[in-house]
Amino acid sequence: MIARRVVVALGLAQLISWGTTYYLIGGFGEQISADLGWGRDIVYGGFAAALLMMGVVSPLAGRWVDGRGGREVMVSGALINAAGCAGLALSHQIGTYFASWIVLGLGMRLTLYDAAFAALARIGGPEARRAMSGITLLGGLAATVFWPLGHTLSEHFGWRIAVLAYAGFALLTIPLHLLIPNKRFAGVPSSGVAAPKQPRAASRRQLAAAGGLYAVIMTGANFLNAGMSAHMIAVLSGLGLTVTVAVWIATLRGIGQSAARLCEVLFGGRLDPLALNLMACLIMPLSFIAGLFSGTSKEMGIAFALLYGACNGILTITRGTLPLILFDHRSYGTLVGRLIVPSFILPAAA
């Protein structure tokens, strides 16, 4: 059984890590463009470079977690995130701007959900599902916390000071990551926990089919997530909402994510991860239909943010829990690290 303090610490670390890295461009992209006089293709191209970097290093990151544990990997990632944020804050040239984003890409792959899920799988094996769901509760609030926080900091001090403050926040995750146990699941279930089932993908053919489908689903989900993380505020503004209202509505995405994840924690144990994944995939298109009417109806914008957030929240959980039932947990980080490479490469175009 994974200790509750580890889950809480990792959840808080996820909130800070996502807020200071992945959601950074969504909060500051337009300000960076206006201040430096660069086109949006250059400004958001930096984020795309970070996603490409995440894809390139993903297999290595997965093997690193499997071999050395999550503590060492995620502490290193926190230091790298801080360096990347500091580099962005000091950037005046396109070269240093892109270099800083590439550094952030490495740090993100070592600190965000995929690294955390692999760390939990190494500690808890098949029992890690509940812990995976638990850390996403706080992580899902990253945009809700950091988009308004970043907006306030940049209004008072400018985007450079705000991003430099993000570097400081990234360093605060180090003591949280140090709480990750450096142990490996012994294969003996905890008291009161049923013996783990064998992976469903047993044969080579089943492994190939399950791995291929998993990669396709997660690539599609991450494509949408990358696009919404970078452009959701701009999209809502483009549909006719004021920037202030767009920021407020966009932050509701985090509420939807965490609400759905709380339901999964409370009741999801009765549902198969495959069923949860299918349900989220079927409902998500409805959120974008609501989003089309955001410019004429704030209520539809709110529905869009909450519904999309809820579906994305469930898909984030199944990104971590599906491999637990499909594959051998002992090679979780290595296998998933390879399978999710396309989920970083393709969204770079978003």
What CATH number is attached to the domain comprising 149?
Answer: 1.20.1250.20
The region that residue 13 occupies, defined by phi over 0 for left and psi between -120 and 50 for alpha, beta otherwise, is: alpha
In a domain, 185, yes or no: no
In a domain, 186, yes or no: no
In a domain, 193, yes or no: no
Report the candidate in 216, 61, 248, 264 with the shortest Cα–Cα distance to residue 147: 248
Token digits for 339?
A: 């399978």
Residues 33 and 172 in one domain: yes
Residue 309 belongs to domain spanning? 204-349
Query: Each residue of 252-267: pLDDT tens digit?
Result: 998 898 889 888 888 8
Residues 278 and 169 in one domain: no
In a domain, 299, yes or no: yes
**What band does 145 get if pLDDT is binned at 50, 70 and 90?**
very high
Residues 144 and 246 in one domain: no
Can you tell me the distance from the alpha carbon of 177 to that of 199, in angstroms, rounded to the nearest whole number?
Answer: 29
Residues 232 and 132 in one domain: no
**In whole numbers, what is the pLDDT of the chain averaged over residues?**
90
Judged against a pLDDT cut of 70, whether residue 234 lies above it is answered with yes
Can you tell me the distance from the alpha carbon of 25 to that of 32, in angstroms, rounded to the nearest whole number?
Answer: 9
Q: Is the CB of residue 99 less than 8 Å from the CB of residue 85?
A: no
- Domain boundary (177, 193, 224) is at 177
Q: How many domains does the chain have?
A: 2
In a domain, 212, yes or no: yes
In a domain, 182, yes or no: no
Q: What is the mean pLDDT of residues 33-61?
A: 94
